Structure 1
Amino acid sequence: MQIDTTTLWIVIVSLGLGTYLIRFSFLGIVGDREIPEWVQRHLRYVAVAVLPALITPLVIWPPATGGEPDPARLVAALVAFAVGVRFSSVIGAVVAGMSTLYLMQYLLP
């Protein structure tokens, strides 16, 4: 499927403008004002919500297996979750999850 050059540039410019306006709404308009405490409290949870939202589809429906659940990935996700909850360490959870994934892929056929 070939896309027209004009359409491509319209999409690129529109996405760039949209991204700029989203960022400007926080930095340019609200940047010099004090953010209320309730907003700050809610913003603390953004990173905590985004990371699982990015990872969960890759664990449940991994493209590497054609969308079929993979026991190795499920076990690795559970280990990463347990380490993250127990030790409150993102790096520890990532290392434990990666190590478990590679070990499970080696052990399971």
Structure 2
Amino acid sequence: MIEATTGQIWTIILSMAAGTFLIRFAFLGFVGDRPLPNWLLRLLRYTPVAVLPAVVAPMLLGQGENAFDPLRLGCAAATIAVGILTRNVLWAILIGLGLFFGFGALIG
């Protein structure tokens, strides 16, 4: 195992902070005060729909012994059903979380 010195660790942390700032500033600082074209605004509306499944899928499917956990799959199915029926993302998330933590506490 390679050990890093305190200076190397701080260099990495500061480099990552600067890189993250520059990535965000490139969009917000340079474009933030200008109106965006309609075609770009239309495409940006689909960002949450594309990102949410990418964030949820690894947690839902799991790995090793947690793969295809019935509790997670059931709560995900209920969340999708509530989302489709109510067309309300907040209610779907709250019901899914409530079911997951509620049944998780009951099951142990």
Q: How does the TM-score come out when normalised to structure 2? A: 0.82
In structure 2, C-alpha distance between the alignment counterparts of 1:28 and 1:101, rounded to whole Å:
40
The size of the alignment, in residue pairs, is 106
Runs of 4 or more off by more than 4 Å in structure 1? none
**5+ residue gaps, structure 2:** none
In structure 2, C-alpha distance between the alignment counterparts of 1:4 and 1:78, rounded to whole Å:
48
- CA 1:7–1:67 in structure 2 vs 1: closer, same or farther (change >3 Å)? farther
Please tell me the residue identity of whatever aligns with 1:56: A
In structure 2, C-alpha distance between the alignment counterparts of 1:34 and 1:94, rounded to whole Å:
32
* 1:52 Cα deviation from its structure 2 partner: 2.2
1:101 is paired with a residue whose SS is: helix
Match of 2:96 in 1: 97
Q: Percent identity?
A: 40
1:69 is paired with a residue whose SS is: coil
Q: Deviations over 1:44-100 (max 9, x none)?
A: 1212222222121111006xx844321000010111011112211122111221232
Match of 1:53 in 2: 54
Task: Please show how residues 1-109 of structure 1 align to structure 2 within 5 Å.
Answer: 2-61=3-62, 66-105=65-104, 106=106
In structure 2, C-alpha distance between the alignment counterparts of 1:21 and 1:61, rounded to whole Å:
33
When the two chains are superposed, the root-mean-square deviation of aligned CA atoms in Å is 2.2
1:85 is paired with a residue whose SS is: helix
1:28 is paired with a residue whose SS is: helix
1:39 is paired with a residue whose SS is: helix
Q: How does the TM-score come out when normalised to structure 1? A: 0.81
In structure 1, C-alpha distance between the alignment counterparts of 2:5 and 2:65, rounded to whole Å:
31
* 1:103 Cα deviation from its structure 2 partner: 4.8
